[in-house]
Amino acid sequence: DAGVTQSPTHLIKTRGQQVTLRCSPKSGHDTVSWYQQALGQGPQFIFQYYEEEERQRGNFPDRFSGHQFPNYSSELNVNALLLGDSALYLCASSDSGAGGNEQFFGPGTRLTVL
């Protein structure tokens, strides 16, 4: 099991563009959460997907949206990119059947907005 995988590894976009990041959860996990980690900060929760629905959402604008597919993989979409969106985006998966408490993180996607 490769664990949580994310693609792409790095991405460079310009202001105003749109971006889609992808995440495949650890085998057996059904819940996916997305985090934004700015330089020198801890991860900040964006939202969580379970059963293809957004279950919880952090304090992020509607420009940030997501999707979960029947195979539990997930996408994070960001529209109208701002310079401040430059960050490491982390995906984490968990198993709701095991209490969902422990989150397993992916390696992240580094997004740079110019």
Partner 1 sequence: AQRVTQPEKLLSVFKGAPVELKCNYSYSGSPELFWYVQYSRQRLQLLLRHISRESIKGFTADLNKGETSFHLKKPFAQEEDSAMYYCALSGPGSYIPTFGRGTSLIVHP
Task: Identify which of residues 13 and 105 has a Cβ nearer to partner 1 in the complex.
Answer: 105
Contact between 67 and 75 under an 8 Å Cβ cutoff? The reply is: yes
Q: Smallest distance from the beta carbon of 45 to partner 1, in angstroms?
A: 5
Kindly list the residues in this chain that would bind partner 1 in the complex (CB under 8 A): 3-4, 33, 40-45, 48, 56, 58, 90, 94, 99-108
Task: Identify which of residues 66 and 106 has a Cβ nearer to partner 1 in the complex.
Answer: 106
Task: Identify which of residues 71 and 101 has a Cβ nearer to partner 1 in the complex.
Answer: 101
Structure tokens, 27: 């085998």
Structure tokens, 10: 């790095």
Rounded to the nearest 5 degrees, what angle is found at the Cα of 24, between the Cα atoms of 19 and 29? 135
Contact between 5 and 23 under an 8 Å Cβ cutoff? The reply is: yes
Q: Smallest distance from the beta carbon of 6 to partner 1, in angstroms?
A: 10
| φ and ψ of 81, to 5 deg | -55, 140
Q: Smallest distance from the beta carbon of 84 to partner 1, in angstroms?
A: 17
Contact between 81 and 19 under an 8 Å Cβ cutoff? The reply is: yes
Contact between 80 and 29 under an 8 Å Cβ cutoff? The reply is: no
Task: Identify which of residues 40 and 84 has a Cβ nearer to partner 1 in the complex.
Answer: 40
Q: Smallest distance from the beta carbon of 38 to partner 1, in angstroms?
A: 10
